[in-house]
Chains A and B, each alone.
Chain A
Amino acid sequence: MVPLSAGLVLGGLLLSGRWWAVAPVGFEAEVKPLLNKHCLKCHGGVKESGGLNLMTRESALRPGDSGKPAIVPGNPAESEFVRRLRSHDPDERMPLGAPPLDETSVDLLTRWIAEGAAWERHWAYRPVQPVPVPGSDRLRSGGAWEQGIRNDIDRFIRAAWAGKDLAPAPAAAPGILLRRVSLDLTGLPAPEHLAKAYLADPTEAAYQRLVDSLLASPAYGEHWAALWLDLARYADSKGYEVDSRRHVWRYRDWVIRAWNRDMPYDEFLRWQMAGDLFAADLRLPHSEAEERYLATTFHRLTSTNDEGGSDNEEFRTAAVLDRVSTVWEGVLGTTLACAQCHGHPYDPFTHTDYYRAMAFFNNTRDEDTREDYPVLRHLSDSSLLRLDSLQAWMREIVSPAAAQQLRTFVRTWQPSLNSLRADHMEKADLYAQGYLGLRHGGSARLAAVDLSGHTELVYRFGAGKSGGTWRVRTDRPDGPLLFEQRIPATSFRWEIGTVSFPPSDGVHDLYFSFEHPGLAPADLGVQFDWLHFRAAFPAKADPQGQYWQAVFRSLVAEPTEATPVMFENPPSMFRPTHLFDRGNWMSPAGQVSPGLPDWLLPPGMEPVEDRAGFAAWLTHPENPLTARTMVNRLWGALFGKGLVFTMEDLGSQGVAPTHPELLDWLSWRFMQDHRWRIKPLLRDMVLSATYRQDAAATPEALAVDPYNDYYARASRIRLSAEQLRDQALALAGLLSPRPYGPPVMPPQPDGIWKTPYSGEQWKVSQGEDRYRRSVYTFWKRSAPYPAAMIFDAAAREVCTARRIRSNTPLQALVTLNDDVFFEAACHLARWMQAQDTDPVRQVSAGYRRATGLPPEPQVLQPLLQLREQALAGYVGESADPGDLVFLPPGQRTPETAALALVANALLNLDAVMVRN
């Protein structure tokens, strides 16, 4: 049977006469798609049916369960793989239980084996190489294709037109281009002074000036932050049942500032991945250290669960898994999450690779605590000055290391043990799912505490009545007494306590007990938050030492705002990482160390063993994914879709790039020429002729390229939720330019926030906070701002690499009826009225302001007719202009009201909701 069928194969191929005539088979373009589609489901990362795994060449050449190698390079006749594809026995023929592959595909696979069965690394996993710009030989020489080229991007775009009947669209009208580039770069219509300057003199030089002004505008960072905050799943609340407020807006501001000052992307990533590891340096000014910490809030934006009775370890684990998915999907364009339960079905990532990637993020101090520890404490400026003096004293009298530890502790209250890790609780419990609380006669254990070098404990506690005694013994419930401490009353407010104890080297279990005979059995006596073991404060005996100790205590106890950040466990608190069998955290298997698949490491790179190393790898110029993923995302933001359509997946299951050379050329330029700076890269893109084309599609162009894959015209893009609201406020003259700060609450319908166990309420912001840019709107995960959700904003529960733009009737209801949009319409109407006394010119001015173009008569006519109808209504009985509450009381006239209806219509025009 075997020789016969193999003979048939070869015979068929020879007879077909194509054996030598055709180009070698391409693995990536031709073979891998067939394997993905027909084979890997059963013979890949998830299953290895019959012992066969076709993921890599190495695994495919191993003999399967049958003992026969599936693939013998250069010898299809000996390859079981080919025999099974050709077999007529339904029990043998592959793919099993599915229709056989067609003749062409089988021929192709056979030829590929005959040619040596080369496995090629998927394009996205190969380092970015310099790419030559297509010369004029690749453009149609002397033809229209060379005309109007502005930069090299155009050469790549037009080189791809070879063989296609395509010609560049004319350049967009200056008014259109102005609106487009301004909305794209700043999320807002152009400010009047820039618009005037450009429209008065729409030359190349003026366009470049316009672009530079927009890139320099503070509005730039406020617009682009949204893209990053979607990836970072930024929200102002924690998620799940209680969904209480989380104070992380300083991170959001850090992102906006970073974009505005064009922080290089590698630095931007480095601080977010591992800023905490670079922040503990006495020489750093507080502001810089603070920035490095704040950047790591990126990893603390995961949903956490404060629900009563929830398992803190379960949600801590979920948060760490989410870090892995977020970094790999958002920053690396790779669906590593697939490997959480088993090997990746289509890309060469193993189950172990996933958990080694997880180990980078698993050894941090966060434990799903209520207070979101670890945090960065935002001390006042005067306190920071006192801290500087304190650390200088400490440095001198003890050591720089001791000064560093002290500074770190004052800023972060770390490293500390969270009391929620207590066990063996009797007459004691984890109150509010987070704090060890003891009742009279209660006891609990804190396992494995390293006491080496420590003789002092600083702890955060609260108690109801004074008079309780807290004892801590080592090793056994009745072991040696370490210390005994009277607990004062604090009305259960959190306070900081300190206690000294004799030296006791090594790791010990600590047994807590609490006595307070005056309490009823159910009364909570004392509760603990965190416990920090340290060396005794020096020079306690002399007055200077006492002074500095008092400073230290007041700094530690100072009430501050705080932002959750990353903090690596010290060695004594090391948390191992285990594989989870089938992805289930309740089934830990073997322990793993942090690391990356060898094949992804640039040659000669240091071993990658911690988050700092991970950050170095992430931003290494030979990392094949980081630059491509970001460049693709930026392209997508300007051109409506990525060069790789699936921005979240550059892997083999993603869509292949439409312009692979351009993607690599831009990625190389991003890293090498622009040194990871984003503004010059965006500038390259918006200065291209490709970007500046008109968006109108002729029937001919539609026939050749219906989806604009070849960019022979501009794409039309529906504005994002943020852009729509901000644009409306800007057109109305209402938009507040005030940047930064705590989130604000613009009007939203009543009754959106009805979260159980939460007293928090949506209180509409007063004054200009009502009109702030949408990036500052409070984002509550369990009840997000509804108008934004209807316009496809990301829920920010998990990393969102690509928003989907839908088009629904509920959206029409928002822009027609939402107070925010109707208020904007009323103010736009007043602006229109202020331009001219003639209604025709008022309407024209409004249209031009909203769309960037003067209205054609056939556009003006329906708007004027609407004004007439509305005016008749408001003059007559059917409508009352006095009802338009967003107009100032003195201006609720029929004329203004009628114009408000026109303005309302303007804000709903396709040409206004879309950027042309």
Chain B
Amino acid sequence: MKNDPSALLREAALETARWNTRRLFFRQIGIGLGSMALGQFLSGCQPSARTSAQSPLQPQPPHHRARARSVIYLHMAGAPPQLELFDYKPELAKLDGQACPPSLLEGKRFAFIRGTPRMLGPQARFAQHGQSGAWISDLLPGLAGVADEICFLKAVHTDQFNHAPAQLFMHTGSPRLGRPSLGSWVTYGLGTENENIPGFVVLTSGGNNPDGGKALWGSGFLPTVYQGVHCRSEGEPVLFLHDPKGVGRDLRQASIEAINQVNEQTFQTFRDPETLTRMAQYEMAFRMQVAVPEVMSLADEPDYIHRLYGTEPGKTSFANNVLLARKLVEKGVRFVQLYDWGWDMHGVSDDTSLANGLSTKCRQIDRPVAALLQDLRQRGLLEETLVVWGGEFGRTPMQENRLGLDQAFTGRDHHPDAFTIWMAGAGVAAGTTYGETDAIGYTPVSGKTSVHDVHATILHLLGFDHERLTYPFQGRDFRLTDVQGELVRPVLA
């Protein structure tokens, strides 16, 4: 770029300082970090927030020392059956085929179970693995090999039993549309470390977007700059990233230079700091056009990495997305959110059966997930990267009996009361299990953990007090954990 922006940027910084004064003047209420966020990029629009000199995404200090610098969140959309994967219940096998006792049904709402269903024993073989002796089923042999990296939370519960609301709850802290997502909160709080790549990246696989739709990575009432950027493995990795056909890099550079030269004149006339910001954003867009395809390409990865992850370059696959996630956090992306669709094992067909459907899905994720933990460990990134794996709720210990009828395939209905998620990496107590369910995996008996608790814990690992990461909306300071959430200390290393 010909015009040296540094003088203009200094001027922008000055403008920002004035702007901040204004923000504090606007609303002198205690809003924690929120009172420092956002800033000049909002055209006089927001009463309070975090500010930075050049970009709202500039790195920000957290509340306390962070253990995690980045997050990779692997969400299995549809809700994987904990009873076939991690929550081993030999007692349940003994009850297999028996009618469900009424006491388990009283006061419960089910999505599809009607009348009296039958109990369904575990549909996989379990063994203990690693020093920690974690129970993992034979459906996930690769993961079993890295069991000692993992901390299982086996008594997580939600209050939603339908996919879209439960996914929204898991990722925005509310089952209704309209709240900011976890990744948005984190980027709002911490900014990003690589200004050439979006700070919050979303990758999807499994053939469909998750049931909750784009609201799962939306910014809700936070400024849209904090929404997740859905990077795609087909077409452009980021929407509108490619120059139009017939416009090469040199012409794009020439046009951005011309735009910014004219904009500089505009600034000289109007003295509007927004103009300076816009100039900087055009330059950043230009850099992003180079940086994003680079990071989103798997071509430069060595063969052994491809073998390790089981990637299939050129296709849309969960394995590809997991490897991309590693590349993205390596480049300083703050929050990488993966959704893999197709885990809704109702047993209404072969591909939703616990026999075939589940083993297919497990084969798709087992190798890449294990590879991710090994690879991050090997690169020294696991110490600063938090990996979370889970679904939106659990599945019943009963065989689903849609319409009150016996089904041809084994399957389980939605179950909000108890399910397993796991965490690994930065600041997490590796090789441990927290929380326990009863003998049939139906109800937590210890270590009961709510979705808000999970959020509080993730934010804690990132250096936040979840009660202080707030944003003013509809007359009050909102936070991810609403009015709830307790840090789950036993999960911390």
Contacts and interface: CB of A to CB of B under 8 A. Distances in A.
A761 to B, nearest CB: 13
Nearest to A243: B213
B271 interface: yes
A810 B240 contact: yes
A572 interface: no
Contacts of B112: 308-309
B405 A911 contact: no
A521 B229 CA distance: 49
A717 B43 CA distance: 8
Interface stretch (A159-167, A726-734, A783-791): A783-791
A905 B263 contact: no
A782 B209 contact: yes
Contact of A641 (B44, B115, B223): B44
A751 B234 contact: yes
B262 A307 contact: no
Interface string A688-720: 000000011111001000111000000111100
A653 B111 CA distance: 41
B32 to A, nearest CB: 14
Interface string B370-405: 000000000000000000000000000000000111
Given A807-B278, A809-B281, A901 B236 contact: no
B257 interface: yes
B303 interface: no
A521 B407 CA distance: 12
Given A697-B272, A816-B252, A883 B209 contact: no
Interface in A747-764: 749-751, 754-756
A905 B257 CA distance: 10
B248 A429 contact: no
Interface stretch (A50-58, A198-206, A863-871): A863-871
Contacts of B198: 810
Interface in A225-246: 239-241, 243
B42 to A, nearest CB: 6
A884 interface: yes
Interface string A580-614: 00000000000000000000000000000000000
A141 interface: no
B493 interface: no
B118 interface: no
A804 B223 contact: yes
Contact of B208 (A646, A756, A787): A756
B218 A806 contact: no
A885 B251 contact: no
Contacts of B309: none
B27 A655 contact: yes
B270 A790 contact: no
A911 B272 CA distance: 11
Contact of A309 (B22, B161, B266): B161
A901 B255 contact: yes
Interface stretch (B64-72, B97-105, B162-170, B455-463): B162-170
Contacts of B267: 910
A310 B19 CA distance: 47
B247 interface: yes
Contact of A797 (B215, B271, B404): B215
A832 to B, nearest CB: 15
Contact of A311 (B22, B109, B211, B215): B109
Interface in A790-819: 790, 792, 795, 797-798, 802, 804-814, 816-819
Nearest to B274: A807
Contacts of B214: 782-784
Nearest to A309: B111
Interface in B199-217: 204, 207-215
A661 interface: no
Contacts of A749: 235-236, 239-240
A427 B29 contact: no
Nearest to B246: A883
Contacts of B476: 335, 338, 345, 653
A439 to B, nearest CB: 8
A807 B277 contact: yes
Interface stretch (A389-397, A542-550, A615-623, A873-881): A873-881
A241 B162 CA distance: 9
Given A243-B213, A318-B176, A809-B285, A429 B404 contact: yes
A858 interface: yes
Interface residues of A, number: 121
B244 A822 contact: yes
B270 A697 contact: yes
A626 interface: no
A910 B254 contact: no
B128 interface: no
Contacts of B271: 696-699, 702
B13 interface: no
Contacts of A427: 404
A657 to B, nearest CB: 13
B44 A816 contact: no
Interface string B236-265: 101111111111101110111111011101
A307 B160 CA distance: 12
A862 B257 contact: yes
B475 interface: yes
Contacts of A909: 259, 262-263, 266
A873 B253 CA distance: 13
A591 B386 CA distance: 48
Nearest to A856: B265
Nearest to B341: A756
A863 B262 contact: yes
B225 interface: yes
B246 A897 contact: yes
Given A37-B28, A241-B211, A754-B208, A807 B281 contact: yes
B114 interface: yes
A640 interface: yes
A866 B270 CA distance: 24
B241 A865 contact: no
B255 A904 contact: yes
A494 interface: no
A101 to B, nearest CB: 13
A885 B209 CA distance: 31
Interface in A886-916: 897, 901-902, 904-905, 908-911, 913-914, 916
Interface in B456-476: 474-476
A91 to B, nearest CB: 22
Contacts of B109: 311
A910 B229 CA distance: 24
A809 B269 CA distance: 23
A648 interface: yes
A325 B473 CA distance: 12
A783 B213 contact: yes
A239 B177 contact: yes
A106 to B, nearest CB: 17
B41 interface: yes
A36 interface: yes
A400 to B, nearest CB: 44
* Top 8 closest pairs, chain A to chain B, by CB: A309-B111, A782-B213, A335-B475, A883-B246, A797-B177, A812-B285, A241-B164, A862-B261
Given A241-B163, A798-B176, 9 more contacts: A241-B213, A335-B475, A347-B475, A649-B474, A695-B270, A698-B271, A878-B248, A879-B251, A911-B266
Interface of B: 18-19, 22, 26-30, 41-47, 56, 109-112, 114-115, 161-165, 176-178, 198, 204, 207-215, 218, 223-225, 227, 229, 232, 234-236, 238-248, 250-252, 254-259, 261-263, 265-267, 269-272, 274-275, 277-279, 281-282, 284-285, 288-289, 341, 403-405, 413-414, 474-476, 483
26 contacts: A303-B177, A308-B112, A309-B161, A310-B111, A329-B474, A521-B405, A641-B44, A645-B47, A648-B474, A749-B236, A749-B239, A781-B213, A782-B209, A783-B209, A786-B239, A804-B224, A806-B224, A807-B274, A807-B277, A808-B281, A810-B238, A873-B248, A884-B246, A902-B258, A908-B282, A909-B259
